[in-house]
Amino acid sequence: MILDCRSGSRPWRTRNVRREQDKREAHSNDGNDRRPGDKDRPKDAPEGQGEIAPLLVRIATKEDDFVDEAKQILKHPDFGKLRDAHEKGDTVVVRINGREIQYEPGLSSSGFTNHEAGGLLIGPEAFTISRDEMKKTVLQEQFRLHLGMPSERVSDDFARASTDAAFEFANRLFERLD
């Protein structure tokens, strides 16, 4: 299961069937107002954010750094190599400010986080959906890199909450990249 992939400007979601199953489980847990598997979530935290809440606080203090890094990436001369690769349909890897950024013409989404390389993959949708999609893609994947992903399998709630948080983060900050 891919946890940090998104398509277009909407975050990746589990299938509706899984969401319906989650809803049934949430309502069948003996009157407890928390979902099964969400035992560490404070009662007043949104579903799935028990695990992620401390990480979101840490990231919120660094928003200006995210914006600065995204500006540097998007304005770097090597970023043009990614655009050229998109036009030619080629794969290319560049390193910008220590981040490995790869354009992958076969990627079925705008972007994907490459935690192992400390960078990101960019797909055709980042160039074709809208003028702002690339900004949002870079911000969203930066968010995921800074959030980090545990080496072991994460819960569905954590995956859903981190994807939603990255999406909201990028939508809130992308206009600061102009």
With respect to residue 19, please indicate whether it lies within any of the assigned structural domains.
Answer: no
With respect to residue 25, please indicate whether it lies within any of the assigned structural domains.
Answer: no
With respect to residue 18, please indicate whether it lies within any of the assigned structural domains.
Answer: no
Sheet of 99-103: strand order equals 5-6, 111-114, 119-122, 99-103, 92-96
Scanning the structure block, which residue is given the tokens 């398509």?
A: 7
Q: What domain count does the chain have?
A: 1
Q: Which of 39-43, 110-114, 150-154 has the lowest mean pLDDT?
A: 39-43
Higher pLDDT, 178 or 174: 174
One-letter amino acid at 159 equals: A
Looking at residues 153-172, what average pLDDT do you find? 86
Looking at residues 10-30, what average pLDDT do you find? 40
> Helix, strand, coil % (nearest 5) of the chain?
45, 10, 40
The model's pLDDT over 124-145, given as tens digits with 9 standing for 90+, comes to 999 999 989 999 999 999 998 8
With respect to residue 41, please indicate whether it lies within any of the assigned structural domains.
Answer: no
Higher pLDDT, 29 or 77: 77
With respect to residue 71, please indicate whether it lies within any of the assigned structural domains.
Answer: yes
Q: Is the model's pLDDT at 60 over the cut of 70?
A: yes
Q: Give the pTM.
A: 0.69
Contact 25, 35 (CB under 8 A): yes
The CA distances from residue 111 to 23, 30, 75, 100, in Å, are 29, 40, 18, 13
Q: Domain of residue 159: give its range.
A: 47-177
With respect to residue 40, please indicate whether it lies within any of the assigned structural domains.
Answer: no
With respect to residue 4, please indicate whether it lies within any of the assigned structural domains.
Answer: no
Q: What is the CATH number of the domain that holds 68?
A: 3.30.2010
